[in-house]
Amino acid sequence: MLKKSLLAAMFATSLGAIALPASAAVDVILQVAPPAPRYEVVPAPRYGYTWAPGYWDYRGRRHVWVSGHWVRDRPGYRYNSATWVERDGRWHMQRGGWDRDGDGVANRYDRAPNNPYRN
């Protein structure tokens, strides 16, 4: 199986394309601001779940609204919603997800992902 995957990756690279897994996170940086957030009715609390509010995603050269949805709770983690942040005239998308220490930095990029005493 590994051999077939490596051959497929080599073939795709030789054609000038690189295949990424479906779960690969891609940073989105734009010159155009996203539209204003849409108003969503937040349902009543649901035990064992956290509401992930809707947000504007960027797909196929345009902004697309992703509706809010329930995500199963992860004990010991805090959920951060997807947001757009302006830096130096460019808009950066910060994808939502679970964070162990609540500092807003995804654990895979965090130098101290389990430090609850960070500011």
Could you report the per-residue pLDDT of 10-67, keeping only the tens digit for each? 444 443 333 334 344 567 888 888 999 899 999 999 999 999 999 999 998 899 999 9
pLDDT of the residue at 15:
37
The structure tokens listed for 56 are 């504007």
Q: Tell the residue number behind the tokens 């956290």, with chain if given.
A: 50
pLDDT tens, position by position, 86-113: 999 999 998 888 888 766 676 767 777 6
Residue 12, number of CB atoms within 10 A of its CB: 13
The structure tokens listed for 97 are 């997800």
